[in-house]
């Protein structure tokens, strides 16, 4: 009886649009309660991973014997936030650690023999990898030969014939973890947090005081969202608590990303991480060495943090310029390859493309043409080319590449994204095999399908609804922001901004509906693939067809003012 009353009360408090969203997902009361929960006590046991005991015991031994510990992390957001998280944890317990990150253009992704030598030269006795290492067997063997103890923490696929020979390997995706483990979706930074959690427990069992790890969830939030880790209930809870802390963050490096207006919010939207914080952190590693991004995240005062932040802003502007050039050339090469049939995949190569942006360009090709994409450029090594691969739809790009591994020098990644390198002469046979593989996969599984979540009426778009949608944060992989379809509207007017963006104003067709005009925005709309020009829509809407808008909802905050904003993905007339 009590449960029935609780369910009824829950339904009464939810906005009808939110109720319909949950109903469409097929969620009952238990699923809704779990999704909306903030309860960290209901998390699966994060520390129950293979190798955790050996990992923690070796770190504790290093602490007791005053051995220098090194943290070695990938140069992307996940790796950088993982390094920062470990740095702050060890600082909490009064231990100084050395931080090492490779250069994308010198060492490349992963752990290398040169990194082992660098660690030894610094006097490091124990090296802990974050967000990398699971496929670096040769580097692990070299570390053992040189007498450097190695712990690998990672979350990427365990893809080699054997695991690296290390003191410990902590990875929720290692081969002997249960297939149904709820920890598999952890990002690299989530694995690092789990290690710190286990260390805190063991230190406290020994009678040592250890501060709360709760503030470290801010780094977990940034790394998890920006690495596109799947937002399962576990990751949602971890990220929610990180986002909640960000407006009042005590970390000078994180504070540098936030405007005074954002610091007054109760929580930071996940889109802030995806479209601002993440790209800025990534920008240094894309163009040169990532150390300034990591230095920002470990900064201890605002003036130092601001200096590093301005470096990132400058790098990000340069990255955007380079990216635009490479994307334009990549599109041209892809479109030249059309033979009249529907393309299965976009595989493009140019020797001069900047290696640091090929991953973003691959993502933009997927976004534009709805097929998987692999973008190649020359590597540092003579005769070797390297690529970033991105999946479309439900395609497992890692599986496809694994079927082609005889062509590669190395590769790694996960379902949605991967990287690889191979001799240049293997490019054409590789293309052929990838196309053969994809022909056997139904189109619906290997292409990005356009779909929406819910129909909505103009009068249902209210401040209350938008606030409640913010309560469904974080949005990201596995909990995408709801895409709405709205009919019964007209395009009242539009403005083209900076030649490519469009600002829309919509009004209800029914004059009986009294409400303010709805404002919308579409970024990079003009000239985009399969987008109808706004003037054509405006001209034709009064002559034929009904206008339909597809959009997500948000709040535009500017100069202390707030208004509802439609992020318009697609506009269509019946005959367009």
pLDDT digits (tens, 9 = 90+) for 467-521: 999 999 999 999 999 999 999 899 999 999 999 999 999 999 888 888 889 999 9
In a domain, 534, yes or no: yes
Q: Do 409 and 378 share a structural domain?
A: yes
The number of domains in the chain is: 4
pLDDT score at 284: 82
State which residues form the domain around 21: 2-34
Q: Do 171 and 130 share a structural domain?
A: yes
Q: Do 70 and 7 share a structural domain?
A: no
In a domain, 507, yes or no: yes
Share of residues in the chain with pLDDT > 70 (%): 97
Q: Do 402 and 302 share a structural domain?
A: no
Mean pLDDT computed over 118-124: 97
Q: How many CA atoms lie within 13 A of 157 on its CB side?
A: 18
Mean pLDDT computed over 25-52: 96
Domain boundary residue, one of 398, 417, 446: 446
In sequence order, what DSSP letters do the residues of 291-354 get, joined into one string? HHHHHHHT--SHHHHHHHHHHHHHHHHHHHHHHHHHHHHHHHHHHHT--SSPPS-EEEE-TTS-
Distance from the Cα of residue 476 to its chain's centroid: 8
Q: Do 283 and 262 share a structural domain?
A: yes
Mean pLDDT computed over 459-467: 94
Mean pLDDT computed over 36-40: 97
* pLDDT per position as a tens digit, 61-77: 999 999 999 999 988 99
Q: Do 373 and 262 share a structural domain?
A: no
In a domain, 537, yes or no: yes
Contact 344, 369 (CB under 8 A): no
Give the whole-angstrom CA distance, residue 410 versus residue 134.
Answer: 13
Q: Do 508 and 440 share a structural domain?
A: no
Q: Do 135 and 161 share a structural domain?
A: yes
Residue 159: band (very low, low, confident or very high) from pLDDT cuts 50, 70, 90:
confident
Mean pLDDT computed over 161-188: 97
**Parallel, antiparallel, or unpaired for β 97-100 and 126-130?**
unpaired
In a domain, 360, yes or no: yes
Q: Do 197 and 174 share a structural domain?
A: yes
* pLDDT per position as a tens digit, 324-367: 999 999 999 999 877 767 889 999 999 999 999 999 999 999 99
Give the CA diameter of the chain. 81
Q: Which helix (H) or strand (E) holds 19?
A: helix 16-24
In sequence order, what DSSP letters do the residues of 5-70 get, joined into one string? HHHHHHHHHS-HHHHHHHHHTT--HHHHHHHH---GGGS--TT-STTHHHHHHHHHHHHHTTPPEE
Q: Do 268 and 164 share a structural domain?
A: yes
This prediction's pTM: 0.90
Give the whole-angstrom CA distance, residue 273 versus residue 244.
Answer: 13
Share of residues in the chain with pLDDT > 90 (%): 82
């Amino acid at each position: 009886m009590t449960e029935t009353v609780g369910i009824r009360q829950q339904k009464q408090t939810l906005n009808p649009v939110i109720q319909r969203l949950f109903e469409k997902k097929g969620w009952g009361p238990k699923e809704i309660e779990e999704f909306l929960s903030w309860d960290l006590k209901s998390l699966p046991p994060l520390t129950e991973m293979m190798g955790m005991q050996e990992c923690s015991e070796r770190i504790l031994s290093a602490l007791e014997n005053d051995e220098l510990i090194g943290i070695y992390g990938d140069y992307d957001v996940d790796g950088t936030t993982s390094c920062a998280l470990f740095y702050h944890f060890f600082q909490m317990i009064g231990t100084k650690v050395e931080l090492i990150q490779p250069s994308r253009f010198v060492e490349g992704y992963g752990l290398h023999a040169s990194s082992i030598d660098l660690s030894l030269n610094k006097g490091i006795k124990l090296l802990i990898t974050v967000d990398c290492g699971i496929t670096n067997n040769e580097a692990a063997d070299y570390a053992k030969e040189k007498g450097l103890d190695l712990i690998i923490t990672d979350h990427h696929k365990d893809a080699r014939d054997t695991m690296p020979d290390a003191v410990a390997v902590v990875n929720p995706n290692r081969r002997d973890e249960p297939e149904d483990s709820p920890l598999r979706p952890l990002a690299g930074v989530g694995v690092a947090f789990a290690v710190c959690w286990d260390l805190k427990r063991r230190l406290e069992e020994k009678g040592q005081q250890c501060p709360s790890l709760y503030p470290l969830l801010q780094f977990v939030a940034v790394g998890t969202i920006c690495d596109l880790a799947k937002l399962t209930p576990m990751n949602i809870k971890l990220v929610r608590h990180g986002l909640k802390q960000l407006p009042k963050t005590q970390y000078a490096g994180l504070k540098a990303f936030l405007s005074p207006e954002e610091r007054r919010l109760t929580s930071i939207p996940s889109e802030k991480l995806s479209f601002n914080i993440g790209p800025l952190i990534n920008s240094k590693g894309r163009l040169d060495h990532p150390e300034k991004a990591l230095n920002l995240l470990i900064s201890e005062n605002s003036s130092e943090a601001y200096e590093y932040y301005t470096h990132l802003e400058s790098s990000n502007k340069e990255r955007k310029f380079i990216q635009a050039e490479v994307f334009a050339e990549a599109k041209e090469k892809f479109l030249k390859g059309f033979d009249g049939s529907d393309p299965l995949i976009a595989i493009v190569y140019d020797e001069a493309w900047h290696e640091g942006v090929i991953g973003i360009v691959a993502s933009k090709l997927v976004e534009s043409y709805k097929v998987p994409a692999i973008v190649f450029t020359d590597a540092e090594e003579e005769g070797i080319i390297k690529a970033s691969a991105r999946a479309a739809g439900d395609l497992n790009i890692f599986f496809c590449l694994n079927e082609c591994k005889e062509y590669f020098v190395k590769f790694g990644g996960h379902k949605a994204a991967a990287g690889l390198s191979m001799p240049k002469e293997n490019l054409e046979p590789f293309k052929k095999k990838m196309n053969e593989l994809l022909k056997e996969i139904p189109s619906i599984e290997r292409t990005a399908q356009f779909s929406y979540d819910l129909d909505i009426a103009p009068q249902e778009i209210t401040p209350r609804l938008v606030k409640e949608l913010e309560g469904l944060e974080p949005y990201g992989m596995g909990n995408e922001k709801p895409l709405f379809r709205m009919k019964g509207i007209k395009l009242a007017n539009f403005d083209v901004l900076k030649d490519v963006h469009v600002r829309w104003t919509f009004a209800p067709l029914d004059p009986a509906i009294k409400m303010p005009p709805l404002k919308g925005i579409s970024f990079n709309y003009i000239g985009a693939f399969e987008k109808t020009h706004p003037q054509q829509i405006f001209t034709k809407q009064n002559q034929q067809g009904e206008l339909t808008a597809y959009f997500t909802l948000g709040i535009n905050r500017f100069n202390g003012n707030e208004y509802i904003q439609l992020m318009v993905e697609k506009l269509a007339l019946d005959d367009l």
